[in-house]
Amino acid sequence: MNKLIIFDGNALIHRSYHALPPFRTRKGQLTNAVYGFASVLIKVVKEFEPEYMVATFDLEGPTFRDLEYKEYKANRKRGDQDLYDQIPLVKKLVESFNIPIYEKKGYEADDLIGTIVNQAKEINKLIITGDLDTLQLINPKTKVYNLKKGINQTLIYGEEEVQEKYGINPNQIIDLKGLKGDPSDNIPGVNGVGEKTALKLIEKFKNIENLYEKISEVEPKLKARLLEYKEDALMSKKLATIERNVPMQFDLEKAKWEYEKEKVIKFFEELEFNALIKRLDQI
């Protein structure tokens, strides 16, 4: 069965960097994030034998979410420079595997993933990521392959798994974040509303807009809180929503994967990834 693999580049870089020890080449070049990314890539290719593959990356600079809410991700400290120094190497790794890269100023990698999912409706898609932000994109043709712990423990999320984990549908994830917020991205949500309360509200009212239309049905104390933080709830849902119409054109044929083993071996030799060279025989 044809399958399109979409790599969430920055999420995988961060996960690999923090999951692996800081090993270096003989010249002192740190390569743990590159090694981790390569290891995941080989594992995915071996497991799913995809016909198409692409990778998405963030670009530096503000996005439309920063313009919407200046405190968006303001609580995040800048990562180690050693991590950022490996991003160009990871892109070289991706290019050595003949995988096209998508990135666009003003948008996050998740928005590019959302747009690719939207434009490539007919093919089965698997998003490879280190976080759960893309769960909202899950549909009958789209699943999320999540690195649950480190880079080896993984879990595939489809519609059933999201329902089992949260008791809601994938498209309601943005309502959940709108109500309870998302501390990792500094999305405020409704002050004092946690996940348990948010899920009960979504179960009854389906989405935030309907909740506020029928706010009279909510018990007085919670109703007062929801009304006080209504603007935050609506803004938080907007911030959490992945854009699916980024002005870009996805070309499925350009994503058709053709593997040149010698090209990858040359790159691996430069970074002294001898163990990974042996693993190439598996694909």
* CA 111 from centroid of its chain's CA atoms: 9
CATH number at residue 227: 1.10.150.20
CATH number at residue 115: 3.40.50.1010
Contact between residue 187 and residue 239 where contact means Cβ atoms under 8 Å apart: yes
* CA 60 from centroid of its chain's CA atoms: 17
Closest C-alpha among 77, 105, 101, 82 to residue 91: 101
More confident call, 259 vs 171: 171
Closest C-alpha among 87, 114, 108 to residue 185: 108
On whether both 11 and 106 belong to a single domain, the answer is yes
On whether both 226 and 87 belong to a single domain, the answer is no
Tell me what pLDDT residue 1 has.
53
**In terms of residue numbers, what domain contains 221?**
167-240
**Residue whose token pair is 């974040």:** 177
More confident call, 112 vs 259: 112
Tell me what pLDDT residue 80 has.
86
On whether both 224 and 277 belong to a single domain, the answer is no
| Mean pLDDT computed over 42-56 | 96
On whether both 250 and 182 belong to a single domain, the answer is no
The 10s digit of each residue's pLDDT in 90-130 is: 999 999 999 999 999 999 999 999 999 999 999 999 999 99
On whether both 103 and 174 belong to a single domain, the answer is no
Answer yes or no: is pLDDT of 148 > 70: yes
Tell me what pLDDT residue 16 has.
96
DSSP per-residue string spanning 12-63: HHHHHHHHS---B-TT--B-HHHHHHHHHHHHHHHHH--SEEEEE---SS--
Distances (CA, A) of 188 to 69, 91, 96, 205: 10, 33, 41, 21
Residues 6+ apart with CB under 8 A from 276: 35, 38, 39, 42, 268
On whether both 247 and 236 belong to a single domain, the answer is no
Tell me what pLDDT residue 193 has.
96
On whether both 192 and 120 belong to a single domain, the answer is no
Answer yes or no: is pLDDT of 164 > 60: yes
On whether both 55 and 186 belong to a single domain, the answer is no
On whether both 147 and 195 belong to a single domain, the answer is no
| Mean pLDDT computed over 252-267 | 95
Tell me what pLDDT residue 151 has.
84
Q: What confidence tier does 73 reach under pLDDT thresholds 50, 70, 90?
A: confident
Answer yes or no: is pLDDT of 211 > 90: yes
Tell me what pLDDT residue 76 has.
76
Answer yes or no: is pLDDT of 271 > 80: yes
On whether both 183 and 254 belong to a single domain, the answer is no
Tell me what pLDDT residue 115 has.
98
Residue 112 three-state SS: helix
Start-to-end CA span in the chain (Å): 17
**Domains of the chain: total:** 2
Q: What confidence tier does 248 reach under pLDDT thresholds 50, 70, 90?
A: very high
| Mean pLDDT computed over 138-161 | 93
On whether both 142 and 78 belong to a single domain, the answer is yes
On whether both 84 and 198 belong to a single domain, the answer is no
More confident call, 134 vs 283: 134
The 10s digit of each residue's pLDDT in 1-28 is: 579 999 999 999 999 999 999 999 999 9
Mean pLDDT across the chain, nearest whole number? Answer: 95
